[in-house]
Structure 1
Amino acid sequence: MNRLEGKKVVITGAASGIGRAAAQLMAAEGAAVLVADLDPARAEEAAVAIRETGGTALGFGVDVMNEDSLAAMIEKAVAEFGGINVLCNHVGGSNPRKDLDLLRMDLDEWDRVMSLNVRSTVVASRLAIPHMNSGGGGSIVNTASVGGLIGDSLQSAYGSAKAAVIRLTQYIAVQYGANGVRCNAVAPGAIMTPALVDNIPADVIEGMKQANALPYLGEPEDIAHAMVYLASDESRYMTGQTLVVDGGLTSKSPLATGRSSVLS
Structure 2
Amino acid sequence: MGRVEQKVALVTGGASGIGLASAQLLAKEGAKVVIGDFNIEGAKAAAEEIKANGGEASAIFLDATKEDSIQEAVEFTVNTYGSINILFNNVGGTNLKKDLDVVNLDLDEWDRLMNMNLKSVLIGSRFAIPYMQKAGGGSIINTASTAAVAGDAIRSAYGASKTAVTGLTRYIATQYGKDNIRCNAIAPGLILTPAAKANLPEEVREIFMKYNALPYHGEPEDIGNTVVFLASDDSKFMTGQLLVVDGGHYMTSPTISDVDNYVASLQK
Identity %: 51
Q: Deviations over 1:128-164 (max 9, x none)?
A: 0000001100000000000011101110011100000
Q: Deviations over 1:28-66 (max 9, x none)?
A: 000000011011111000000000000000011111111
Counterpart of 1:139 in structure 2 is 139
Displacement of 1:259 after TM fit? Answer: 3.2
SS at 1:64 equivalent: coil
Cα RMSD (Å) of the superposition?
A: 1.0
Letter in 2 for 1:48: E
Moved more, 153-162 or 195-204: 195-204
Separation in 1 of the partners of 2:116 and 2:212? 28
SS at 1:249 equivalent: coil
Displacement of 1:260 after TM fit? Answer: 3.2
SS at 2:250 equivalent: helix
Separation in 2 of the partners of 1:154 and 1:145? 14
Counterpart of 1:218 in structure 2 is 218
SS at 1:171 equivalent: helix
Counting only pairs closer than 5 Å after superposition, residues 199-218 of structure 1 correspond to structure 2 as: 199-218=199-218
Unpaired stretches in structure 1, ≥5 consecutive residues: none
Counterpart of 1:2 in structure 2 is 2
Letter in 2 for 1:101: D
> Is residue 116 from structure 1 mapped to residue 116 from structure 2 by the alignment?
yes
Separation in 2 of the partners of 1:60 and 1:29? 21
Displacement of 1:122 after TM fit? Answer: 0.3
TM-score w.r.t. length of structure 2: 0.97
Counterpart of 2:91 in structure 1 is 91
SS at 1:162 equivalent: helix
SS at 1:130 equivalent: helix
Separation in 2 of the partners of 1:94 and 1:76? 28
Structure 1 segments of 4 or more deviating over 2 A? 258-264
SS at 2:36 equivalent: strand
> Is residue 237 from structure 1 mapped to residue 220 from structure 2 by the alignment?
no
> Is residue 129 from structure 1 mapped to residue 129 from structure 2 by the alignment?
yes
Displacement of 1:205 after TM fit? Answer: 1.3
Counterpart of 1:151 in structure 2 is 151
SS at 1:251 equivalent: coil
Separation in 2 of the partners of 1:99 and 1:186? 22
Letter in 1 for 2:142: N
SS at 1:250 equivalent: coil
Q: Give aligned pairs, total.
A: 264
> Is residue 28 from structure 1 mapped to residue 28 from structure 2 by the alignment?
yes
SS at 1:34 equivalent: strand
Counting only pairs closer than 5 Å after superposition, residues 151-230 of structure 1 correspond to structure 2 as: 151-230=151-230
Letter in 1 for 2:68: D
Moved more, 202-211 or 234-243: 202-211
